[in-house]
Structure 1
């Protein structure tokens, strides 16, 4: 990409956020890399990176596991086409999500971009995530705007969920960048953002409801169901 193309892309990137895509999980329960499951003819990690690009961010940091060449190659073309996409390797993917998130935060900090004041944090396996939901998250004004959904259940059971059903407040979410930097030292192992977010005053937390986000892919049974529904390529 030429310098002129780079400048044109920067002009288009008029939003005040960066994106961290947490894609360094080793998918032990699934038994195969979830990043390389296919949707509409391309790997999920590429689908999610394209989805992140649709929000016109200042930068996208994709954190991937070490020694997984297929995963890296799946987004190399996108990174070549879009200078805003940065690939970061997590050399210790088995240490938990918090380390991947910390690597993403450090990478954003290294950009020294004063235009970034919020961070959109995403995973790769919520197969029904769409641009509309990300737009709703980014439209929120609170310190944290998180997704709100129920635990994974087959579609036919969702109609019978009672009002007291357990909710998940989680990814994807948008968080104030300064707050994220303050919390970085507390991100250890599997201790992610959820407990920190719950400690905020309620008026600083926004929620965007979307039960479709319940359908992430962690087990072979969930993968089979997603393929049966046509959400993933067979």
Structure 2
């Protein structure tokens, strides 16, 4: 694995992992999958990609989750307003990114409950953005566009202005005609319930 400071990309990753996992009944961040927690799997995937830096936004259960993480080469952020919704975690991530890496050209927003995200997908988002110059590159699956999704810095102000449960998908919809995409057939597989977890292909 290349050290973060040697990577050529100026595109960061923010992993949104602050939610309570109410429907699941326990922190999905800590569910085991292929020998790692879902969150650690997401972190390792981001570290294997061209992106840098990697930021992780925690909220609910943050202390227990932090104890389980290999924290090298990532920045862990604590969103004290996580109960207000996804928008607060996006704001927490973008605000801190602008402080620690103001040169960042874009950011990839990803969640930890899509277990089939891999480094190639993240790199494909970056490559598509650099080749097409489109401001948003989303993942395409199940007749929709969603995460992981890349947003150019020109959209940071709008990401910071999101409120409540309004996530970045609202910007994907707003700029639908201008959004690029890469195919991610397994993107619709996420973990919201115990049944989802039991049915997860091992």
* TM-based fold match above 0.5: yes
Q: Kindly name which structure, 1 or 2, has the bigger radius of gyration based on alpha carbons.
A: 1
For residues 1-234 of structure 1, the aligned pairs below 5 Å read 9-75=3-69, 77=70, 79=71, 81-82=72-73, 85-114=74-103, 116-141=104-129, 142-150=134-142, 167-179=143-155, 181-200=156-175, 202=177, 204-226=178-200, 229-230=201-202
**How many angstroms apart in 1 are the aligned matches of 2:114 and 2:93?**
19
List gaps (5 residues or longer) in structure 2.
Answer: none
Q: Distance in 2 between matches of 1:14 and 1:66?
A: 33
Would the aligned equivalents of 1:12 and 1:56 in 2 still touch at CA under 8 Å?
no
The question of whether the paired residues in 2 share the 8 Å contact of 1:170 and 1:194 is answered with yes
Tell me how far 1:56 sits from its aligned partner: 3.2
Distance 1:112 1:28 in 2: 33
TM-score (norm 2): 0.90
The alignment covers a number of residue pairs equal to 197
Residues 26 and 139 of structure 1: CA distance in aligned 2, closer, same or farther (over 3 Å): same
Counterparts of 2:47 and 2:98, CA distance in 1: 19
**60-69 or 167-176, which deviates more:** 60-69
CA contact (8 A) 2:55 2:76 kept: yes
Corresponding residue SS for 1:198: helix
Asked if the contact 2:49/2:120 (under 8 Å) is kept, the reply is no
TM normalised by structure 1 equals 0.79
